[in-house]
Structure 1
Amino acid sequence: MSRLRITPDKPYLKIMHKLKCSVSLFMVMLISITSSASFVAFAVEDDLAYLPANQNYDPSIPKPEDILGYPVGTWHVRHDQLVNYMYALDAASDRVSLKVTGYTHEQRPLLLLTITDPSNHSNIESLRQNHIARLKSGEAASTEDPLVIYMGYSVHGNEPSGSNASLLIAYHLAASQSDEVKQLLANNIVLLDPSLNPDGLARFAQWANMHKGYNVVADPAHREHREHWPSGRTNHYWFDLNRDWLLLTHPESRARIEQFHAWRPHILTDFHEMGTDSTFFFQPGIPSRKNPWTPETNVTLTNSLGEFHAAALDANKELYFTEEAFDDFYYGKGSTYPDAHGSIGILFEQASSRGHAQESINGLLEFPRTIQNQVTTSLSTFKGAMANKAAIAAYQRQFYRETQSLIDDDDTHGFVVKAPKDEARFARMLSILTQHQIEYRVLSSDADFEDRQYSAGEAIYISLDQAQYRLIRSLFSERKRFVDNTFYDVSNWNIAKAFNLEYTAVSQSQRRKIKTNDQSWSDAKSQKQSYKDSQLVPNAYAYLFEWHSSDAPAMLQYLLENDIKVRIAGDSFSAKTLSSNQMTNEDSQQQANKTLSFAAGSVMIPVGLNQTDKLISLLETAQKGFDIKVHSIASGLTPSGIDFGSRQFAPVNSVNVLLVGGKGTSQYEVGEIWHYLDTRVGIPATLIDLSDLDRTELSRYSHIIFASGRYNDVDKKAVDSLSNWVKNGGILIGQKSAVSWFAKNGWLENKVLADDAIDAEFSTEGLQYKDRMDLASQKRVAGAVFTANVDLSHPLFFGFENASLPFFKTSNMVLEATNNPFTEVANYVEKPLAAGYASDQMEALIANSAAVVVNPNGKGQVIAFVDNIHFRGYWDGTNKLMSNAIFMSPLL
């Protein structure tokens, strides 16, 4: 840094001047005479120290320090401070327009600044629409058309140099009177997203600031540099938002994707941080790990922009690297999602001070320096974009032309997808398609492909002949072999398998079988069935709803919270229904006064046990809110199957769920479980730290859930307490490495395959030292789809339709089979790999092993999921297993 200020000890400045030494030399001297781990806190003298000289900044535009009260980098900026400054900039500058695009889970605003010349602001909507129209038409780019450059900062909240840099970049663009900035804004549009993860940024800023004293401690062991669980990397529910661009589980991602498609930027930047001992990284990453649907021209242009980053970092004598460590395969990351759309996504990774200053192998790493590098490469992005404007604009049109060529040459015409009985799950999948601007049509006539039947009004067709061809191909990929088998993230994200939907790839020769209409799915569904306005019969013997919908658990939880007594069917049956004269729905009229069949898992509400005037009102509210049909039942004597007074109609009481988190557990997996229970089911789970387990009174909880974690150090007192709790009737639920711990404690009959047994399957003969990473990648299962056969007669799978279920596997743990059909309720098939990468050796080890185990233990049960059933809130096909583990437990 060129200008530094020491605070609050002004006498140090006098000493420095008397010694006639530079600021940097003085700091070295100061550190040497104090502790090697601490020194007097300092910051840049003012915000202009970060920015180019000779900018003739407009004095009417406030600098960040004018609003913050101190220069950027002195403290970690909180999100509310960042928002205040951006509003001040919007008010002061006619180059800036601010828009709130949405809100986080914690109701923090998501901001997007449009920064361009005032003359462009006067017709900004016309510029946007013309840009999108030209893309869709494939019209050649005009030299007058502006580039759209999207600058996105700090999707990981504890990588804050990006968001702090965004303050300086916004000011620079708003206030600089240099010819370079004027030319940039006259001919281009900059979209600036200052904080992609406000909740995480706020959490980390609080952590870093609360540990800063006048004497900054650079010792890596200092508490400031070792965040407690959960880290600020994640959002409110502890998800990694940089993996959510494709999955759209969270409001931050949904708001961002809406703006991405509204603008379709030419360039999108993604500013991150990495380990403290690293340097600086910019793309392209490892060439062999590029997504196969991304054109080579994208890499060429990324390289061209990289020359400008290199020149800027060279000028500052900064160390950096490229073409290693990071990849561009998974389309759900911020720097990769744009690549599927003809945009150029660029990842920047800055070594992190993880606080205000920290020792590293490269010397003392100070927070202002990390900010400086993000500012430097933000400016080099603008410079590179202007220098390559013609090529970048031409590429986006070229991308669409090449896409059409790929469509014409593809033997596959599209994908037909069958709607399940679970309408809610299907609707969520369609919502993701719609947000990604993927078009689909409803089948208007029946079609059959091999052994699958698709009925009119019961399936959709997704043609590949559309602009989102590459993304669709990615979303329905079943690729199992790759040029490079090492993945920075997952190797598959097939949306139909994630939502457990039947689908078929339709070839060009089969396309004639497909007949569709322009009707939306919601319109087709509303004509077929809608229960929102159906009224119940007041004098019914009982009321009943089925368990097919993934919203059924939330409906049951709603009834339990309102003290309604319910029973769950342990077997199938038929029942006589009653009609209401006020029913208007055609489908409901046809089913009224009929004997209907109901599947196991159906929820029965006996009127005799619910003598309350609010019963019908509550049920009709639930029926309308969850859009699940509630049937009015005439009699407890059923024409077939179990009667309503059967012991197989098990009572379900209100549940009290304990979710174990804290240090030693996976914040991601705990967050996914919490998110599912909280937002999808409405269960107010109690969260505790693992370290508090031995001090927690377990008797008040009906269910205890363990995500993946390190449990070998859990003390004997806690283990004994859990053992006794299960034997007394508790339901213990675990996934992934928690299952290994369960087995170690004897709570499962199954054993986990030892690491050395896995190693024995891989020969090292003829290998060299350079081959060690490749061998390690063969032993990993980083993210692939595996198929298991499930026992639909078991309560854990009530509401599921197919005996074949795709699981998402992110570890190489193998739970050995015992061939006990009464405890092993799901086993992987003989050839389990369905999509994504796994070595032949790992697939063979996983084949026929256990996927889900339910082990009785005294009066209780231990339920083990080998895989993550809530992966990133996206794997909706297995989400419901957690609800079944909770609500169906009386039937176990």
Structure 2
Amino acid sequence: MPRLFTLLLFSLVFISQTLFAIQDKDYLPPDTTYLQAITTPTEALGNEVGEWHVRHDQLLGYMRTLAEQSERVSLIETGRSHENRPLVLLAFTSATNQAKLATMRADHLASLTGKPQPNAPLVLWMGYSVHGNESSGSNAALLIAYYLAAGQNKQIEQLLNNNIVLLDPSINPDGLSRFAQWANMHKSRSLVTDPQNREHQEAWPNGRTNHYWFDLNRDWLLQVHPESKARVAQFQQWRPHVLTDFHEMGSDSTFFFQPGVPSRKNPWTPIKNVELTDALGQFHAKALDQSKQLYFTQESYDDFYYGKGSTYPDAFGSIGILFEQASSRGHLRETANGLLSFQQTIQNQVTTSISTFSGALANKDALLAYQQSFAQDTLELSKKDKWSGYLVQEEKDLSRLQGFLSILNAHNINYWPLKQDVEIEGVNYRAVSSVFIPLQQASYRLIKSLFSTRQSFDDNTFYDVSNWNLALAFNLQYTPVKGKIAVDTNRLFKPKVLESELLQQAYAYAFSWDDSSAATLLSRLLQAKVKLQVAGAPFVAQTSQGAINFPAGSVVIPTAFAQPPNLVSLVQGLSQDLPLTLWSINSGLTKQGIDLGSRQMLKLSLPKVLLVAGKETSEYEAGEIWHHLDLQLELPLTIVDLERLASIELANYSHIIWVKGSYKDVSENNAKAISAWLKEGGVLIGQKNAASWFVDKGWLKARIKSDSDIDLAFEIKDLQYADIEGFKAKKRIAGAVFSTQLDISHPLAFGFNSASLPMFKNDNQVILKPDTPFITVAKYTEKPLLAGYTSPELQELISNSAAIIAHRVGKGKVIAFNDDINFRGVWQGTSRLLDNAIFMAGFIEAPGQ
């Protein structure tokens, strides 16, 4: 089928609702011949590309076939998704280069800090469909892989003889599989173009997200998920010159390619990056002009947050490129621009993949030179910085510190243990619990972003969050440092954990609640039917290793209870992989504080937790709860759709968790059932606007500022039409860090050792601080903004308002968090508030009125 005829097909109004099949070669450049020995995508699938949405197993199978058949292709498995789907990366280059690929990679990495090698190769990374329901990318990957493995033309010869193309065909295989199943199972023989058809309206949760309903495009920096860990590990091993990120957007849009909004780039990204992005953009424009496709640039999307696929590379001297294709959300759909077929969406992704090759080859010298200059300029910047680096410490929660350091490791950020204690501005940074992160290293720009507390920006409109200070996210003590710090570069930092001593004849065993992993062990013990209790107040007990201070929240396992057989070996086995010290207590009589038989010792049973999810709730926030309970607490969680809640026997559950959502359709009878369950002893936990719903139902004794009250805080006089976007940005908190003052005597604060707690905020809900004493667990400080952008008007409204409220309702407890305490699975400084809400709520006795 001639190329021209293919393009005409895409522009025709379909007379019938039967989708025309398009052959593989019709998607690809017409001046190309193909090796007959290489299997085509159609031969592998049994249907034309775009006729059905490709499943991940089909996609993977075809990539493996190409690696077996073509001497230009090598494939490695880089990891596994949560659902155990293989993550693969293919390297395309000539057969001669394949034999020396490892050497070429090593030479390329060496050249980043040295002189460029003669005839140095470009490394191009093609990444497809990080959002699973934006599947035109992964379907296009079939064709691009075939083009590179079997195609014969001048461009391919030039590309593969002197360069390397890395191809990630499916960044999010779990989401892609979920969406392919949805789109294919609802496809009719007579294609339905009505946007309201079930095919085009995915059920909750949609295929955008991964197994735990996270947006993987926000996880490049945070490294929460195995898909991201595998991908970033390969990125760091290859450091490509160009990285592409193929997405989809709303169906009524056209096509977008970068550069994005000029004023919204990250301040640490050089302007040369934007210039090279624009140079490549000229090739995309030319290719799309030839096929008469509508497109736009320099609008809507930004390059500020370094945690996305198109911006993370910018921190390392690569050129990240975002593509956004209008989505067919199925196979054929009516849009504002006419009928949009799945084939057309695939075609545009193929077209811009190939224009990326053309643009990169034409700008090869500039791209090679840019990586060199980027490295040199970064070094010079680091030398001019007034700070030499950052000191970071955490003395009691080693799990939290190790979580922070693991992210630094993933991004090749160097840090070193101290040779001796260091005191800065009255704070002692102990060598056993502190690290120093020098700024004079290749990751300088990323480090500056990771510790940024910037609050003012040239453009205050953000597509995503305005701050991602990791030390604040992990609630770690840190400070910038001037001058030299004595560090030991000959050893890795390894925090010391005192060895446990569990004696067979002990009176009881105990461990502190200071470390985040204590909640994991508690969950394991309860599931193993170990009988235990939690201390509601501190005590000093005599152990086999002397007198030990146990803070409130410490867990005690009395041998007086009927325990499982072989208790010591059981406890040892459950705790051996955790950085915890367990103690053998000699007597129930303590030296100080409560005794082990005290009424302030709370006996715990295994919680039975229910999460309300489904349609009308935030799948991101629900996924964060699920992820935390499943992987951190290792606690079984029952997830129930909101629409089914009325049919659930609530008495079977000890806790119900609610995330951001719309609860206006919850029936009055259902609300009465929840009230009765709460008063009989249930624990009701809600975050963000779920707290507002709690107030409406009379469960939470608080007042929340209305939207109209918030609007009154903003001056609108003399605003012009052009001010609309800026005015909306002032009323929005895209994502910033706020300081709160925590009541560390409260049960929800057990395990916290400082009243200062950074919280992440990404909406403008304001809960007024109640007059009722003892129920405000945390409040925002008088000047609450720590990092990121929030308008002065909102800062004033939030000042001294409530962040966490908890009180008794009958025999039950209600707990409200004004913010997302598990934000993107990385905000570990506040995630243990949820652990306490689950395990420590029994201590909450303050009445709501």
Partners of 1:787 and 1:805 within 8 A in 2: yes
Query: Of 786, 791, 812, which aligns to 1:860?
Result: 812
Seen in structure 2, the aligned counterparts of structure 1 residues 501 and 519 have a Cα distance that, compared at 3 Å, is: farther
- Counterpart residue number, 1:505: 480
Q: For residue 215 of structure 1, give the secondary structure of its aligned residue in structure 2.
A: coil
Check if 1:144 corresponds to 2:119: yes
Show structure 1 runs of 5+ residues with no match.
Answer: 7-21, 32-38, 579-591
Check if 1:70 corresponds to 2:38: no
TM-superposed deviation, 1:530: 4.6
Partners of 2:618 and 2:661 within 8 A in 1: yes
- Counterpart residue number, 1:298: 273
Seen in structure 2, the aligned counterparts of structure 1 residues 405 and 275 have a Cα distance that, compared at 3 Å, is: same
CA distance in 1, matches of 2:702, 2:321: 46
Partners of 1:863 and 1:885 within 8 A in 2: yes
Q: Deviations over 1:355-413 (max 9, x none)?
A: 00110010000000000000000000000000000000000000011111111211111
Query: Of 555, 558, 566, which aligns to 2:521?
Result: 555
Check if 1:383 corresponds to 2:358: yes
Check if 1:121 corresponds to 2:98: yes
Q: Deviations over 1:258-310 (max 9, x none)?
A: 00000000000000000000000000000000000000000000000000000
- Counterpart residue number, 1:47: 24
TM-superposed deviation, 1:611: 4.0
Seen in structure 2, the aligned counterparts of structure 1 residues 727 and 265 have a Cα distance that, compared at 3 Å, is: same
- Counterpart residue number, 2:402: 427
Check if 1:245 corresponds to 2:245: no
Query: Of 180, 189, 192, which aligns to 1:205?
Result: 180
Query: Of 637, 658, 661, which aligns to 1:706?
Result: 658
Partners of 2:422 and 2:428 within 8 A in 1: yes
Seen in structure 2, the aligned counterparts of structure 1 residues 751 and 60 have a Cα distance that, compared at 3 Å, is: same
Q: For residue 128 of structure 1, give the secondary structure of its aligned residue in structure 2.
A: helix
Partners of 1:789 and 1:826 within 8 A in 2: yes
Q: Which amino acid is 1:688 matched to?
A: V
Q: Deviations over 1:310-360 (max 9, x none)?
A: 000000000000000100000000000000000000000000000001100
Partners of 1:64 and 1:85 within 8 A in 2: yes
Seen in structure 2, the aligned counterparts of structure 1 residues 29 and 757 have a Cα distance that, compared at 3 Å, is: closer
- Counterpart residue number, 1:517: 488
Partners of 2:658 and 2:685 within 8 A in 1: yes
CA distance in 2, matches of 1:445, 1:612: 45
Q: Which amino acid is 1:547 matched to?
A: W
Q: For residue 608 of structure 1, give the secondary structure of its aligned residue in structure 2.
A: coil
CA distance in 1, matches of 2:129, 2:234: 17
Q: For residue 774 of structure 2, give the secondary structure of its aligned residue in structure 1.
A: coil
Partners of 1:535 and 1:620 within 8 A in 2: no
Q: Which amino acid is 2:45 matched to?
A: L
Check if 1:529 corresponds to 2:532: no
Q: For residue 85 of structure 1, give the secondary structure of its aligned residue in structure 2.
A: helix
Partners of 2:3 and 2:30 within 8 A in 1: no
Check if 1:190 corresponds to 2:190: no
TM-superposed deviation, 1:498: 0.2
Seen in structure 2, the aligned counterparts of structure 1 residues 537 and 61 have a Cα distance that, compared at 3 Å, is: same
CA distance in 1, matches of 2:143, 2:548: 67
Query: Of 378, 381, 394, which aligns to 2:369?
Result: 394
Q: Which amino acid is 2:200 matched to?
A: H
Partners of 2:10 and 2:344 within 8 A in 1: no
Check if 1:577 corresponds to 2:552: no
Q: Which amino acid is 1:563 matched to?
A: K
CA distance in 1, matches of 2:29, 2:540: 78
Q: Deviations over 1:743-778 (max 9, x none)?
A: 111111111100111111111111111101111100
TM-superposed deviation, 1:119: 0.7
Partners of 2:261 and 2:299 within 8 A in 1: yes
Partners of 1:659 and 1:686 within 8 A in 2: yes
TM-superposed deviation, 1:54: 2.5
Check if 1:466 corresponds to 2:466: no
Report 1:638-649 matches (<5 A): 638-649=590-601
Alignment root-mean-square deviation, CA:
1.4
Partners of 2:497 and 2:580 within 8 A in 1: no
Q: For residue 164 of structure 1, give the secondary structure of its aligned residue in structure 2.
A: helix
Partners of 1:577 and 1:633 within 8 A in 2: yes
Q: Deviations over 1:451-474 (max 9, x none)?
A: 321112221100101000000000
Seen in structure 2, the aligned counterparts of structure 1 residues 23 and 650 have a Cα distance that, compared at 3 Å, is: closer
Report 1:698-847 matches (<5 A): 698-847=650-799
CA distance in 2, matches of 1:369, 1:183: 28
Q: Which amino acid is 1:123 matched to?
A: K
Q: For residue 284 of structure 2, give the secondary structure of its aligned residue in structure 1.
A: helix
- Counterpart residue number, 1:636: 588
Seen in structure 2, the aligned counterparts of structure 1 residues 409 and 560 have a Cα distance that, compared at 3 Å, is: same
Report 1:445-484 matches (<5 A): 445-484=420-459
CA distance in 2, matches of 1:28, 1:820: 66
CA distance in 2, matches of 1:519, 1:545: 33
Query: Of 64, 84, 89, which aligns to 2:66?
Result: 89
Partners of 1:415 and 1:505 within 8 A in 2: yes
Partners of 1:135 and 1:400 within 8 A in 2: yes
CA distance in 2, matches of 1:683, 1:596: 29
Partners of 1:619 and 1:630 within 8 A in 2: no
Partners of 1:5 and 1:43 within 8 A in 2: no
Partners of 2:416 and 2:437 within 8 A in 1: yes
Check if 1:280 corresponds to 2:280: no
CA distance in 2, matches of 1:769, 1:673: 41
- Structure 1 runs (4+) deviating above 3 angstroms are 1-6, 22-25, 519-522
Partners of 1:94 and 1:118 within 8 A in 2: yes
Q: Which amino acid is 1:97 matched to?
A: S
TM-superposed deviation, 1:5: 12
- Counterpart residue number, 2:35: 58
TM normalised by structure 2 equals 0.98
CA distance in 1, matches of 2:420, 2:377: 33
Check if 1:545 corresponds to 2:511: yes
Query: Of 558, 574, 580, which aligns to 1:606?
Result: 558
Q: For residue 626 of structure 1, give the secondary structure of its aligned residue in structure 2.
A: coil
Show structure 2 runs of 5+ residues with no match.
Answer: 845-849
TM normalised by structure 1 equals 0.93
Partners of 1:813 and 1:866 within 8 A in 2: yes
TM-superposed deviation, 1:443: 1.2
Partners of 2:530 and 2:564 within 8 A in 1: no
Seen in structure 2, the aligned counterparts of structure 1 residues 567 and 420 have a Cα distance that, compared at 3 Å, is: same
Check if 1:111 corresponds to 2:71: no
- Counterpart residue number, 1:321: 296
Report 1:28-39 matches (<5 A): 28=13, 30-31=15-16, 39=17
Q: Which amino acid is 2:487 matched to?
A: T
CA distance in 2, matches of 1:612, 1:709: 42
CA distance in 1, matches of 2:741, 2:10: 66
TM-superposed deviation, 1:23: 5.8
Seen in structure 2, the aligned counterparts of structure 1 residues 688 and 29 have a Cα distance that, compared at 3 Å, is: closer
CA distance in 2, matches of 1:325, 1:485: 13
CA distance in 2, matches of 1:651, 1:78: 49
CA distance in 1, matches of 2:400, 2:113: 31
Q: For residue 516 of structure 1, give the secondary structure of its aligned residue in structure 2.
A: coil
After alignment, is 617-626 or 832-841 more displaced? Answer: 617-626
Partners of 1:4 and 1:43 within 8 A in 2: no
Query: Of 532, 538, 541, which aligns to 1:566?
Result: 532
Partners of 1:660 and 1:689 within 8 A in 2: yes
CA distance in 2, matches of 1:216, 1:859: 57
